Amino acid sequence: MGLRLLCAASALLCASACAAPSTTAAATPEPTAAAGEVARDALAARPLDALVAQVQHDPSNEYGLLIEDLASGHRLAMNQDRVFPSASVYKLALAWEALRQADRGRIQLDEPLEITAEDAVEDEPAGGLGPGDTPTVREALDLMVSVSSNAAAHALLRLVGRDAFNQDMDQVGLPQTRVPAAEDGSEAVTSAEDVARLLRFIALGQGLSSPAQSVLHGALQQAQFPDALRDTLPGDVTILDKTGNLDDASNVGAVLSTPRGTVLMVVLDSGVDPGTARGVIAQLGWAAYEAYLQR
């Protein structure tokens, strides 16, 4: 399935990149087709139809995809409004929201943030935090993004407030990005359209002060494991990304930049082998690079 997806995606991206510039601004949401949940760039409708046919051929595999070239506004979007478990990709929105609250004086980045036993309810990756640790808010935010610390994320959710987070996501136009109202074992969720909107804020420097943007960029530029885009793309690509993995999914939200341009890329999935999903991420990332970013 991954090879079929690569061929169709490459055809779409090359056709879109070579077409006349779109008159639709990049920030304008694409209309949703009710039957297939697929938004179609009019300049690339036929290649996108071919891509949808390839991906949807196996109904057990579900993907939400969005690739957007900021300069032209060309985009590939499939199932972009479908809600998926976000895995650790929700930490991107949480980091952005924590920094927004810091800009407003509601929290202080250099104050200590104790990690409690209640924060350590999920497995912690190497280099993460444990009960009794007292990083600063800035350090917790960095570890939440760079090594995907779950304990740091739960502590920051306590600080920001779960209800406040969900309400603020509504206010900034991310209505499908949600964390559970309580730590009850349910999953954080999002959509490809929501993640792309947040990535657009990050790429365009919107919503945060310059110092806060620097903090977020510094965390997002650090290598994560596994990270299919960093393992695949050449060194001239600047990658700001957050990955997320579950037993049946591998997700990513990324801003990819070279001197030629900037691309937003989101892949969400469910009910797939994570290794297969990372293969799809790598292949789509390479297709986007060749279409929009390669010199």
The per-residue pLDDT for range 229-257, each reduced to its tens digit, is 999 999 999 999 999 999 999 999 999 99
Q: How confident is the model at residue 183 (pLDDT cuts 50, 70, 90)?
A: confident
The pLDDT value given to residue 54: 55
Select the more confidently predicted residue: 116 or 15.
116
pLDDT, tens digit (0-9, with 9 covering 90-100), for 24-52? 333 333 333 333 333 334 333 334 345 44
Query: What integer is the mean pLDDT of 178-204?
Result: 93
Nearest alpha-carbon partner for 151 in 114, 180, 112, 204: 114
Query: What integer is the mean pLDDT of 54-62?
Result: 56
On whether the CB atoms of residues 86 and 105 are closer than 8 A, the answer is: no
pTM summary value: 0.83
Q: What is the DSSP string of 143-209?
A: HHHHT--HHHHHHHHHHH-HHHHHHHHHHTT-TT-B--SSSSSPPPEE-HHHHHHHHHHHHHT-SS-
Name residue 233's amino acid: L
Name residue 80's amino acid: Q
The pLDDT value given to residue 9: 52
Query: What integer is the mean pLDDT of 158-175?
Result: 97
Contacts of 100 (CB under 8 A, 6+ apart): 168, 207, 208, 212
Query: What integer is the mean pLDDT of 116-137?
Result: 95
Contacts of 154 (CB under 8 A, 6+ apart): 118, 119, 120, 121, 122, 183
